Amino acid sequence: MDLSLILNTLMITTLTILIIPIALPLLSDSLKNSPTITTNTVKTAFFISLVPMTIHIYSGTENLISLWEWKFIMTFKIPISLKMDFYSLTFFPIALFVSWSILQFATWYMASDPYITKFFTYLLLFLIAMLILIVSNNLFILFIGWEGVGIMSFLLISWWHGRTEANTAALQAVLYNRIGDIGLILCMAWLACTTNTWEIQQLHSSSQMPTLPLLGLILAATGKSAQFGLHPWLPAAMEGPTPVSALLHSSTMVVAGIFLLIRTHPMFTNNQTALTLCLCLGALSTLFAATCALTQNDIKKIIAFSTSSQLGLMMVTIGLNLPQLAFLHISTHAFFKAMLFLCSGSIIHNLNGEQDIRKMGGLQKMMPTTTSCFTIGNLALMGTPFLAGFYSKDQIIESLNTSYLNTWALLLTLLATSFTAVYTIRMTVLVQTGFTRIPPLTPMNENNPAVTSPITRLALGSITAGLLITSYILPTKTPPMTMPVTIKITALVVTALGIAMALEMSKMTQTLILTKQNSFYNFSLSLGYFNPTMHRINTKTMLTGGQNIASHLIDLSWYKLLGPEGLANLQQTAAKTATQAHPGLIKAYLGTFALSTFIILMSMY
Amino acid sequence: MTTLHLSFYSAFTLSSLGLAFHRTHLVSALLCLESMMLSMYIALSMWPIQTQAPSSTLLPIFMLTFSACEAGTGLALLVASTRTHGSDHLHNFNLLQC
């Protein structure tokens, strides 16, 4: 049996199946799309994509397909080339599994929406763009997928476009992503000029790799994966419906930046500057996001900041020169983060739109399935031993502790790990336990299988995914095997400290002590004062600079004052001065002339 | 000096005095200019008759052409200033002086 042929065929089949619900209604009027059709399409595509992954695990088959080539310039090849290696073959089933669960959940969540078919079409388009990004071997095809996910993110965040906050959030997402795109285009231009190729397998790691393209790639990842500096769009993106937050802004789109760095990792291996930059940027992002999550009261914002923090952790792993570990974290993170968002969506709908955790409580008895899976997801997020998050997160912390690196990055990451435990426990305790703080008449009903089966499926994935992936995949770099006991249990100790502190502090909220404001609380609550500072100062500087140069300098000064109007002003001044000498008294002059002539004539006789 | 010379000398002098001492209307200054031109034309056309040199018969024709142009210019100025000021009264013309 030709395994590589089966692999190629089934991967192309997966992609084609996903395109069918969008393409066929365009060709004929009698075929219409519907939410169930879209969900079943993604389910079928998931089951089909399991086969290539199994083939790869069984025999290590990898493939590179090169389709039609765009003959734009004869000396520069831009083929449509798809790379089926470990990363794309493993991510396809994971992304499709998560998307299937989210689409099934969305049939219940968006059931009252009049344009639900359009919503599902948007989600499917997003999924196709993301899969194109994953499977591409060429930076050009990757860029197509990159832009595709960016525009679908914009359309989906502003789904309820009657709301101003949704529109501004979507605009923020697009603008910040665009700034990241500058970096990607810079890298593509450098590669096209210097190495004459955009293929990923032709990226080599020379010992003197210039830092410029790597800075471009890091900028692209900062924009797309919401690292510190270009991060405000991710919490603002929670304005979109919960399925959008679950699919885009937790499992798939935001990992596109990290995935780009994983794909182009051969360029990074020898450049210590770029690696250290990734490390420090990731450590800063993870701590900043974890700090902001400590004081948030909106359940979706807490989960969004937790996503941002985990993305920082992935960036730290890239900075440690461990791309496969970062990919493992992406895979396990997809499961529990999507599940956390779906649980929060179920809670929000069942409380009739309430998103503030201070107004939830005691839900454990009222919504048992959702809250159990919520707890499982939170435990997996914290890195509880032998759930999914443990396999990736604990390995990352171990590698951090046993590497020769920047101590500051290490300390920030450990602090962020303990903060993760703090806000997770806070969220769990406030949502599920204690006295209930919800209004008495709430339409609470989670008995719909469209709600419970995706959440339980993803819970199963959160428990087993880490074990399954690490059992079947050999690591390319040897993980550290021996270390002192203290280092080995650092992650556990730090998390346990966080849990203890959070439980203690949640008892304090029931003791009716009047809280005073202090600067740390204000810093965390206002998200580090980043949004008002940067959004005002930057835009005002740019707009006044633009006005000064374009309008005041060029139009008014050069074209008018130094040109015709200045000349006219000079002439006018000269004319005004000169006309004072010429009063134009014709009669006086002519009379004087006549008198003078008469006197001369008379004096001649 | 013959009677002819007296006639155009006195015509010229009286017209120039009229140009110098015009009072209200701009058109009277233009008329005096015209009569100055006329007297000069008659004087110039007397010259070839007096000196019996036909070659200078061309000169009064030139002068007439230029005086016609000048008269046209003067009338255009008159019309323009009348259009803006409403009349050709001279004491109105320096009211808008800056």
Which of A327, A311, A165 minimizes the C-alpha distance to A231?
A311
What single DSSP character describes residue A239?
Answer: G
Confidence (pLDDT) at A137: 92
pLDDT given at position B20: 87
**Mean pLDDT taken over chain A:** 91
Q: Phi and psi (nearest 5°) for A99?
A: -65, -40
pTM, two decimal places: 0.81
Instruction: Look up residue A42 and give its two tokens.
Output: 């993604």
Min distance A587 CA to chain B CA atoms (Å): 6
Least CB-CB distance to B20: which of A583, A584, A594?
A594
> Chain A residue closest to B22 (CA)?
A587
Q: Which two tokens stand for residue B3?
A: 């009677």
Q: pLDDT for A32-79, tens place per residue?
A: 899 999 999 999 999 999 999 999 999 888 889 888 988 888 888 899
Sign of CA dihedral A183, A283, A392, A463: negative
Q: State mean pLDDT over A198-223.
A: 88
Compare CB distances from A591 to B21, B94, B97 and report the shortest one's residue. Answer: B21
Between vectors from CA A552 to CA A550 and to CA A558, what angle results, nearest 5°? 85
**Which residue has tokens 């930057």?**
A538
Q: Is the pLDDT of residue A236 over 70?
A: yes
Q: How is domain B1-92 classified at the CATH fold level?
A: Helix Hairpins (1.10.287)
A572 chain-B contacts, CB cut-off 8 A: none
How confident is the model over A251-273, as pLDDT tens digits?
A: 888 889 999 999 999 898 888 99
* A83, β-bridge pairs: A64
- All structural domains of chain A with their residue ranges: 3-513, 516-562, 564-604
The answer to whether residues A183 and A220 touch, using CB atoms and an 8 Å cutoff, is yes
Which segments of A124-227 are extended strands (E)?
Answer: none
List the domain boundaries for chain B: 1-92
Measured between alpha carbons, how far is A246 from A304 in angstroms, rounded to an integer?
10
Q: Could you tell me how many helices (H) and strands (E) chain A has, helices first? A: 25, 2
Distance in angstroms (rounded) separating the CA atoms of residues A553 and A559: 9
Say yes or no to pLDDT of A1 above 70.
Answer: no
User: Alpha helices of chain B — where are they, by DSSP H?
Assistant: 3-20, 26-51, 58-85
Q: Which two tokens stand for residue A98?
A: 């998560």
The neighbouring-strand residues paired with A78 are A70
What is d(CA A420, CA A430) in angstroms, rounded to the nearest whole number? 15
Residues near A427 by beta carbon (within 8 Å), at least 6 away in sequence: A299, A302, A357, A378
Residue A151 to residue A126: CA distance in whole angstroms: 9
Report the pLDDT value the prediction gives residue A449, as an integer from 0 to 100: 92
Residues of A with CB under 8 A from a CB of B: 576, 579, 583-584, 587, 590-591, 593-594
pLDDT tens for each residue of A371-392:
999 999 999 999 999 898 899 9
List the single residue in A576, A583, A590 with the smallest CB-CB distance to B19. Answer: A590
Residue A113, token pair as written in the block: 């929406």
Q: What percent of chain A has pLDDT over 90?
A: 65
Q: Do B21 and A590 touch (CB under 8 A)?
A: yes
Q: Kindly tell me if the per-residue pLDDT of A182 is higher than 90.
A: yes
B94/A579 touch (CB, cutoff 8 Å), yes or no:
no
- Quickly state the pLDDT bin for A406 (edges 50, 70, 90): confident
SS (H, E, C) A320-349: CCCHHHHHHHHHHHHHHHHHHHHHHHHHHH
pLDDT computed for residue A528 by the predictor:
86
A553 pLDDT above the threshold of 90: no
CA A489 to chain centre: 31
Query: In this model, does residue B98 exceed pLDDT 70?
Result: no
Q: Examine the pLDDT at B97 and tell me if it is beyond 70.
A: no
pLDDT of residue B1: 57
What type of residue is B16? S
CB contact under 8 A, A587 and B22: yes
The complex scores an ipTM of: 0.78
Residue A227 CA to residue A224 CA, distance in Å, equals 8
pLDDT surpassing 80 at residue A100: yes
Please name every residue paired with B25 in a beta bridge, in sequence order, or none if there are none. B89
What pLDDT, in 10s, does the model give residues A117-135?
999 999 999 999 999 999 9
Contact A576 B94 (CB under 8 A): no
SS3 A268: helix
**Among A134-148, A470-484, A584-598, the range of highest mean pLDDT:** A134-148
CA-CA-CA-CA torsion sign (A143, A149, A153, A154): positive
Asked if residues A261 and A183 have their Cβ atoms less than 8 Å apart, the reply is: no
CB contact under 8 A, A587 and B19: no
Instruction: List the one residue out of A126, A170, A191, A97 whose CA is nearest residue A465.
Output: A97
Using only C-alpha atoms, chain B has a radius of gyration, in whole angstroms, of: 17
| Residues A262-298 as b or e (16 or more Cβ within 10 Å = b) | bbbbebbeebeebbebbbbbbbbbbbbbbbbbbbbeb
